[in-house]
Amino acid sequence: MSVETVAGPALASACDDVREAVDGDSVDGVPPGHVARPASTDETAGLLRTAAELDLAVVARGAGTKLTWGTPPERVDLVLDLSRMDAVLDHAAGDLVAVAQAGCPIDRLQETLAAAGQRLAIDGTLPGTTLGGGIATNSSGPRRMLNGTFRDLMIGTTVVRADGVIAKSGGRVVKNVAGYDLGKLMTGSFGTLGVVTEAVFRLHPLPTASQVLAVDVRDATTAAALVAAVVHSDVVPTAVEVDWPAGVVAVLLEGTEQGVDSRTAATRTLLTGAGASTVDIAEQLPPWWGHHPEGVLLKLTCSLSAVGGLLQEAARQGVAVRGSAGAGVLYGGLPADAEVAAAVTVLRAFCLAAGGSLVVLAAPADVRSTVDVWGPVPALELMRAVKGQFDPHRRLSPGRFVGGI
Ligand SMILES: Cc1cc2nc3c(=O)[nH]c(=O)nc-3n(C[C@H](O)[C@H](O)[C@H](O)COP(=O)(O)OP(=O)(O)OC[C@H]3O[C@@H](n4cnc5c(N)ncnc54)[C@H](O)[C@@H]3O)c2cc1C
């Protein structure tokens, strides 16, 4: 009897929400056989144990907005849909700590925390996207510059391994246990090492005031000088973003009313001193803030001192750039019918020479086949060894990650 035939009933014995997959369940063009929606970590473990017994390949899914990021999986038999595990399990406001299930939409967690004047210091993202998806892709926005990313804000994780073993790491206080920080390993691993079912986050108070200082600037050298003037100062910006070649540098200041007012004045002085002719000050974030550019999506990283050069080179390659000039983490976008492979080659060489990297996050399949999605990855053999420990039979999102991991 074929695996497909026995898989359904076997999976159904581990979870009461299992169905045959339909077209919409395909993962980056690869059709799975079944979809299961576990309601708990234990059910997730039961499903992964069953999948192991039947040698099924498994891909975790949150809201499914980024299942095309990375490379297509070699095979998918089971999609593990975490959307039933969408609860905020605990919010210890006194400890500035929250615990939530991986299928919890990021915006729902933020709503719960805001009621107590707190937040997970992660920028708003696409509505409905989940904590698990954000952790697995380590997506980040403008506020990463001051607060870090999921990797820094997650202090505890519950993960189910490919063999169904449940592993807990960290806890409810920062660095409360000795040993490897598994949470950091899971962050940005695209679901290739384990399925995250719960996460513990350290929180920040919601700021009572904020101001955005925006400068229109024509040349990349001045843009870089404006960024450097603010980043090297003590005005403690939450974010320093650039929108290029639209020609805007924007600085976000958050905190108390009085603090923000005095830092706004200091920042205006810094910006005019670095070449800004006018500085617009507003409370509202600009419409482009935190949104990725359109088209083929690139993630570009480089040293701060190379940001100006990167903006110039990107403009030469017809690549629109948005992102954290203050952290050296930027997103590039270009039309799919442009010279994508040539632009990737030139910009990747620039980023590598500037101590960074370039990843092709999203592109149509025909374009993706013309480029190396991940680029050169130092310590790839060590990563393969880590994968070999967590998922020796390569059944979690096989082939989606660097080096075909
Ligand atoms: C601050 C910020 C700003 C963003 N801005 C934009 C934007 O402007 N435009 C845009 O298009 N996107 C943006 N994103 C990206 C996008 O929102 C995220 O990548 C999103 O978090 C994906 O969530 P999802 O639930 O849809 O994940 P999915 O698409 O379901 O999954 C994404 C990946 O994570 C894996 N995965 C999902 N859940 C788990 C789990 N529980 N355990 C292990 N692996 C798992 C999947 O297998 C897949 O590889 C932004 C993200 C952030 C954090």
What pLDDT digit, counting tens, does each position of 90-134 carry? 999 999 999 999 999 999 999 999 999 999 999 887 889 999 999
Is the Cβ–Cβ distance between 215 and 278 less than 8 Å? yes
% of residues, the chain, pLDDT over 70: 98
Amino acid making up residue 353: A
**Hey, what domains does the chain have and what are their CATH numbers?**
3-83 (3.30.43.10), 88-205 (3.30.465.10), 209-282 (3.30.310.180), 296-368 (3.30.70.2740)
Q: Place 346 in a pLDDT band, splitting at 50, 70 and 90.
A: very high
Q: Place 6 in a pLDDT band, splitting at 50, 70 and 90.
A: confident
pLDDT at 172 over 80: no
Length of the chain, please?
A: 405
| Half-sphere exposure of residue 123: CA atoms within 13 angstroms, side-chain side | 24
Residue 8 belongs to what H/E stretch?
A: helix 3-12
Q: Give, using CA atoms, the residue closest to atom 1 of ligand 1.
A: 141
What pLDDT digit, counting tens, does each position of 278-304 carry? 999 999 999 999 999 999 999 999 999
pLDDT of residue 207: 97
Is the Cβ–Cβ distance between 98 and 113 less than 8 Å? yes
Backbone phi and psi for residue 159, each to the nearest 5 degrees, phi listed first: -130, 140
Give the global pTM. 0.94
Pull the structure tokens for residue 330.
């930027």
Q: Is the CB of 63 under 6 A from ligand 1?
A: yes
Q: Ligand 1: which of 137, 154, 159, 197 to mutate, judged by most atoms within 8 Å of the beta carbon?
A: 137
Q: Place 176 in a pLDDT band, splitting at 50, 70 and 90.
A: low
- Ligand 1 atom closest to residue 106's alpha carbon, by position in its atom list: 21
Q: Ligand 1: which of 129, 150, 390 to mutate, judged by most atoms within 8 Å of the beta carbon?
A: 129
Q: Place 177 in a pLDDT band, splitting at 50, 70 and 90.
A: low
Q: Is the CB of 123 under 6 A from ligand 1?
A: yes
Bridge-based pairing of strands 78-81 and 58-61 is: parallel
pLDDT of residue 215: 97
Strand partners, 198: 101, 158
| Half-sphere exposure of residue 73: CA atoms within 13 angstroms, side-chain side | 25
